């Protein structure tokens, strides 16, 4: 294991940039938006804190899946999917507030229940409930692909991290 103080930060920075660049280029090539804001904190966890459970493959995949399901579920359950998107309109409706509260509560509870804590997934939930991501199947597909790519690429790099301890 390499212990030089510059190795881990350099590795984390290069890894993060490379993973985001690869996902962005693949999405550009496919004509899809596979990058979205909560992937940044996901790769941060994998690159900077590779030993933390929240950085693991299971937590990444299951955590974001729960966040997506909770976000869209709450929007449709409370009929808030057609409310103006708070992030671009500057209008925060009661429907979006209620959907956000319900979805975040469900995201936290379900992640804890199945031991899949992944804080960036709560940001995915918020992006959905606040209208930063469209409530449609194309968006779900883009999220799935983006998360799968960051999970796979990040897990590979997490395993190779120069300061990483073995998973217990």
Distance of alpha carbon 116 from alpha carbon 99, whole angstroms: 22
What digits encode the pLDDT tens for the residues 14-60? 989 999 999 999 999 999 989 999 999 999 999 888 889 999 999 99
Q: Where are the domains of the chain?
A: 8-159
- Among 35-49, 63-77, 152-166, the range scoring the smallest mean pLDDT is 152-166
Q: pTM higher than 0.85, yes or no?
A: yes
Q: Which two tokens stand for residue 44?
A: 């941060």
Question: Nearest-5° angle of CA 40, CA 75, CA 58?
Answer: 40
Looking at the chain, how many residues does it have?
168
User: For position 64, what pLDDT does the model report?
Assistant: 97
For the chain, strand residue ranges (E) read none
Average pLDDT over residues 106-111: 98
What is the phi/psi pair of residue 138, to 5°? -65, -40
pLDDT at 12 over 70: yes
User: For position 35, what pLDDT does the model report?
Assistant: 93
**Residue 168 confidence class, pLDDT cut points 50, 70, 90:** very low
**Residue 166 confidence class, pLDDT cut points 50, 70, 90:** low
Burial per residue of 29-49, b for 16 or more beta-carbon CB atoms within 10 angstroms, e otherwise: eeeebbbbebbebbbebbbbe
What digits encode the pLDDT tens for the residues 138-153? 999 999 999 999 999 9
């Amino acid at each position: 294991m390499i212990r030089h103080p510059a190795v881990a930060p350099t590795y984390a920075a290069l890894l993060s940039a490379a993973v985001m660049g690869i996902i962005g280029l693949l999405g550009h090539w496919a004509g899809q938006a596979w990058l979205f804001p909560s992937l940044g904190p996901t790769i941060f966890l994998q690159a900077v804190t590779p030993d933390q459970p929240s950085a693991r493959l299971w937590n990444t995949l299951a955590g974001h899946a729960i966040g997506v399901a909770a976000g869209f579920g709450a929007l449709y359950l409370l009929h808030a999917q057609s409310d103006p998107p708070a992030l671009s309109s500057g209008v925060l409706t009661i429907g979006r507030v209620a959907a956000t509260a319900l979805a975040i509560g469900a995201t936290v509870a379900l992640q804890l229940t199945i031991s899949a804590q992944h804080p960036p997934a709560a940001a995915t939930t918020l992006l959905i409930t606040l209208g930063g991501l469209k409530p449609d199947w194309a968006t779900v597909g883009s999220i799935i692909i983006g998360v799968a790519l960051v999970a796979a690429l990040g897990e590979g790099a997490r395993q190779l991290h120069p300061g990483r301890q073995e998973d217990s």
